[in-house]
Amino acid sequence: MTLALWAPFEVADLAAAKAFYSSLGLPVIDSFPGGLVFGVGPSGRIELVQTPPTGHPAHAIEFPTWGEVDRLGGGSVFPRGHYGFVTADPDGNRLLIWSEARA
């Protein structure tokens, strides 16, 4: 069962990007060194990460539990604390399959 669509964006200027997305009325719901997460409705998220663009960002699909991630291929804990793995669809589009860290 999918909980949310998570759209990550690589940005060169985090402050400018924050100002833009805030001007759209999106609330910041999480932050971490070099990044912000905006809420979009009840389950959508836009993540901004200040980094040199790779040209290959992964789009993310959140699952409810670590067990669901394991069922799809297993995972590992990422630096921000979530659990998941990156894969690609048949056209080479990168997808992050993940779940929030569980205590």
Q: pLDDT for 21-75, tens place per residue?
A: 998 889 999 998 889 999 988 888 888 888 776 666 667 778 888 888 898 888 8
Higher pLDDT, 3 or 29: 29
Q: Which CATH class is domain 1-64?
A: alpha beta
pLDDT of residue 8: 81
Domain locations along the chain: 1-64
pTM greater than 0.85: no
Total residues found in the chain within this entry: 103
